[in-house]
């Protein structure tokens, strides 16, 4: 999976609240057809993610207003969260059938952590990374999910490449 970038930090939490009537199926998240299977996987998974306080699908719907499969993303950006528009952008080759649903789901969870307000505090080999798993950042959310769905190789790869600071710089 390629690196990810996020836009400026300014999440308005009150504006991101899901429907009070049906929090797990809020009307505010527009899911494009290419991501329906991914959201279904997350919605139907009863596993309690250790870093989240609610079911994964409901959590995504609480913070993400829109999802867009965006061919304009540059090759090194697999997905991108944009605070200003409450929109998650993801590159066409990062969604099923080009990628396994569980891997796309892990990317959605990563970007949703950004939507919630978490940023990458530093860099490693030129990529924006998280300091430690215990900090519970976007990579931690992603890695724990990858372990849960037995995507062990990818979980270990992310832990090697994207956990542990070498240079300062918040993004
Ligand atoms: Zn990120």
Instruction: Please count the structural domains in the chain.
Output: 1
Cβ-based neighbour number of residue 41 at 10 Å: 18
Q: 121: domain range?
A: 5-168
> Alpha-carbon distance 159 to 79, whole Å?
18
6-137-110-77 Cα dihedral, nearest 10 degrees: 40
What are the structure tokens assigned to 79, written together? 């997905």
Instruction: State pTM to two decimals.
Output: 0.83
Q: How far is the CA of 165 from the centre of ligand 1 (A)?
A: 14
- Ion ligand 1 neighbours, Cβ < 5 Å: 4, 138
What is residue 24's three-state secondary structure? helix
Asked if residues 67 and 87 have their Cβ atoms less than 8 Å apart, the reply is: yes
pLDDT in tens, the chain (171 residues): 444 444 433 333 333 333 333 344 445 788 999 999 999 999 999 999 999 999 999 999 999 999 999 999 999 899 999 999 999 999 999 999 999 999 999 999 999 999 999 999 999 988 899 999 999 999 999 999 999 999 999 999 999 999 999 877 666
Q: How far is the CA of 139 from the centre of ligand 1 (A)?
A: 7
Q: How far is the CA of 12 from the centre of ligand 1 (A)?
A: 19
> Alpha-carbon distance 93 to 73, whole Å?
11
**From the centroid of its chain, how far is CA 95?**
13
> Alpha-carbon distance 37 to 108, whole Å?
12
**DSSP letter, residue 163:** B
Asked if residues 66 and 57 have their Cβ atoms less than 8 Å apart, the reply is: no
Q: How far is the CA of 114 from the centre of ligand 1 (A)?
A: 7
Q: How far is the CA of 37 from the centre of ligand 1 (A)?
A: 22
What is residue 32's three-state secondary structure? coil
CA-based nearest residue to 113, from 56, 157, 37, 44? 56
Q: How far is the CA of 71 from the centre of ligand 1 (A)?
A: 19
Name residue, tokens 């969870």: 109
Q: How far is the CA of 128 from the centre of ligand 1 (A)?
A: 7
What is residue 50's three-state secondary structure? coil
């Amino acid at each position: 999976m390629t690196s990810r970038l996020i836009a400026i930090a300014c999440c308005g939490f009150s504006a991101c609240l899901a429907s009070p009537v049906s929090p797990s199926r809020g009307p505010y998240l527009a899911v494009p057809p290419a991501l329906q299977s991914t959201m279904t996987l997350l919605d139907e998974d009863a596993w309690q993610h250790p870093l989240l306080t609610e079911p994964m699908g409901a959590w995504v719907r609480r913070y993400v207003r829109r999802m867009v499969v965006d061919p304009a993303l540059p090759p090194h950006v697999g997905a991108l969260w944009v605070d200003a528009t409450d929109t998650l952008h993801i590159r066409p080759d990062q969604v099923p059938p080009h990628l396994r649903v569980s891997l796309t789901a892990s990317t959605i969870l990563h970007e949703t952590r950004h939507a919630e307000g978490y940023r990458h505090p530093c860099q490693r080999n030129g990529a924006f990374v998280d300091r430690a798993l215990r900090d519970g950042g976007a990579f931690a959310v992603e890695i724990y999910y990858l372990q849960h769905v037995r995507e062990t190789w990818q979980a270990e790869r992310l832990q090697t490449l994207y956990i542990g600071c070498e240079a300062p710089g918040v993004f």
